[in-house]
Amino acid sequence: MIRPIVKFGDPVLARKAEPVAEVTGEIRQLVDDMIETMYAAPGVGLAAPQIGVPLRICVIDISGGRRGGQVITLINPEFVERTGMQLEEEGCLSVPGYNATVARPERAVVRGLDREGQPVTIEGTGLLARALQHELDHLDGTLFLNRLRGLPRDLIIRKIRKQQRSGAW
């Protein structure tokens, strides 16, 4: 089932999400809904808080669903390692219409549980490393906007506030 994606301004996006106690059928259903919602958007990653669920779950497919079986599910993920630095444009399904250059480590290793509740370790460079960090940030209530400095950030937030006031957000 495709779920509505919440946008910047919703408090669920600003709070720290709770760990999943047990990977049940209900959690697997939630994961499947997240994957369907991500592909429909379309996007390359989605975190549970983005559909209003404050749990530590994210899904990533940097092929955007073009290559079958590429989807990564991470439950209770945590960083094992982060190295290097990359500067690339980034956007977010919860901040539609805005992109900005964000500094991120070039390589990331993340450990968590998969959809079946089995331990999994994912290592990514480039876009995958960026997606891993973007989605794990969501689980701690951080948006890419929070990673921007001064003027670029203020400019985007000012434009969003204007859209919010006019009901266009």
In one-letter notation, the amino acid at residue 122 is I
Q: Based on the residue annotation, tell me whether 36 is a catalytic residue of this protein.
A: no
Residue 51 to residues 76, 103, 148, Cα–Cα distance (Å)? 17, 26, 23
Q: Report the SS3 class of residue 9.
A: coil
Which of 113, 136 has the CB closer to Zn ion?
A: 136
Q: Count residues contacting Zn ion (CB under 5 A)?
A: 1
The distance in angstroms from the start CA to the end CA of the chain is 23
The distance of closest approach from Cβ of residue 30 to Zn ion in the complex, given in angstroms and rounded to an integer, is 17
Which of 24, 87 has the CB closer to Zn ion?
A: 87
Whether the CB-CB separation of 45 and 35 falls below 8 Å is answered with no
Q: Report the SS3 class of residue 33.
A: helix
Measured from each CB, the residue nearest to Zn ion is: 92
Which string of x and - marks every residue 44-83 that binds Zn ion (by CB under 5 A)?
A: ----------------------------------------
Kindly state whether residue 122 participates in binding Zn ion, applying the rule CB under 5 A: no
Residue-wise DSSP of 41-87? TT-SEEEGGGGT--BSEEEE-TTTTSSTT--EEEEEEEEEEEES-EE
- With CB under 5 A as the contact rule, the residue among 92, 100, 102, 148 that binds Zn ion is 92
The distance of closest approach from Cβ of residue 94 to Zn ion in the complex, given in angstroms and rounded to an integer, is 5
The distance of closest approach from Cβ of residue 106 to Zn ion in the complex, given in angstroms and rounded to an integer, is 19
Catalytic residues: 135
Q: Which residues bind Zn ion (CB under 5 A)?
A: 92
